[in-house]
Amino acid sequence: MSATSAEHASEGIAVAAERRWAIIVVFIIGLLVLMMIVMALHWAAMPPSRVETVDVKTVHIKGEFVESNLGTVLEPDGKVTVRLIAQQYSFVPQCIVVPEGMPVTFRGTATDAIHGFVVGRTNANTMLVPGFVSTFTMTFPKAGEQLMPCHEYCGTGHEAMWAHVQVLPRDDFLAKARSGERMSCVPR
C-alpha cells in the first residue's frame, strides 16, 4: 500500500466514525425533543390532579371546615388528619398537634386572601387558596415544637401570622387522641 492509499483508508474510517456519531447524537436530540413534546401535551391535556373546591361563602357554616371540625383527628382507620383554615391574620387552630413518625394528612383552605404555611424546616409547605382545598401527607421524623409561619404575602398583618405545631412522641399522641375527637394544643 502506498502512503496516499493508506491516508485515504484512514480518512474513510474517520468519516464513517463521525457519521455514526452524528447519527447517534441526532437520534438522542430527537428523542429528548420528542419527550418534551409528549410531556407538554400530556400536562396541557390533563387537569391538575385532585382539584377539590369548597364554597368560600359557606365554609364557616357547613361542611368539612366548620370550626368544630378543625384540628387534628385520629380517624377510625388509624390515619391522622389535620384540618385548618387560614384567614387574615391567623390560622385556626393556632396550635396544631401531630404525632411523630406517623403519616399526617393536612387539609386546609383560606377564607379571604391567598395564604400559605411551612412547618419549621420540614417539607410541610403549601399554599392555601380561597375556594380550594390544599392537601398533602407527610411524616414528622422528630418530636418537638415547630413554628408555622404564613409564607404568602396576605396583607399588612402577614408577618404576624403564624401558628405552632407540636410534634408529640407517637405514644403520647395516641394516649391523648380519642378516635373521632378533634384535638389541638390551643390553651383553653
Positions that interact with ligand CUA (CB under 6 A): 86, 89, 115, 150, 152-154, 158, 161
In the structure grid, which three cell numbers stand for residue 5, read together?
A: 492509499
In the complex, least distance from residue 130 CB atom to ligand CUA, rounded to whole angstroms: 12
Tell me the CA distances in angstroms from 108 to 34, 93, 105, 127, 129, one per residue in order: 38, 11, 10, 9, 9
In the complex, least distance from residue 62 CB atom to ligand CUA, rounded to whole angstroms: 24
In the complex, least distance from residue 148 CB atom to ligand CUA, rounded to whole angstroms: 11
Question: Between residues 73 and 146, which has the closer beta carbon with respect to ligand CUA?
Answer: 146
Question: Between residues 87 and 168, which has the closer beta carbon with respect to ligand CUA?
Answer: 87
Is 103:137 a contact under the CB 8 Å cutoff?
yes
In the complex, least distance from residue 155 CB atom to ligand CUA, rounded to whole angstroms: 7
For residue 181, the 8-state DSSP code is -
- CA-closest candidate to residue 100, choices 66, 140, 52, 63: 140
Question: Between residues 74 and 161, which has the closer beta carbon with respect to ligand CUA?
Answer: 161
Question: Between residues 80 and 110, which has the closer beta carbon with respect to ligand CUA?
Answer: 110
In the complex, least distance from residue 76 CB atom to ligand CUA, rounded to whole angstroms: 33
Distance (Å, whole) CA 86 – CA 94: 10
Alpha helices (runs of H) in 46-58, residue ranges in sequence order: none
The CB-based long-range contact list for 126-130 (8 Å cut-off, 24+ gap) reads 127/152, 128/85, 128/86, 128/152, 130/56
Question: Between residues 97 and 113, which has the closer beta carbon with respect to ligand CUA?
Answer: 113
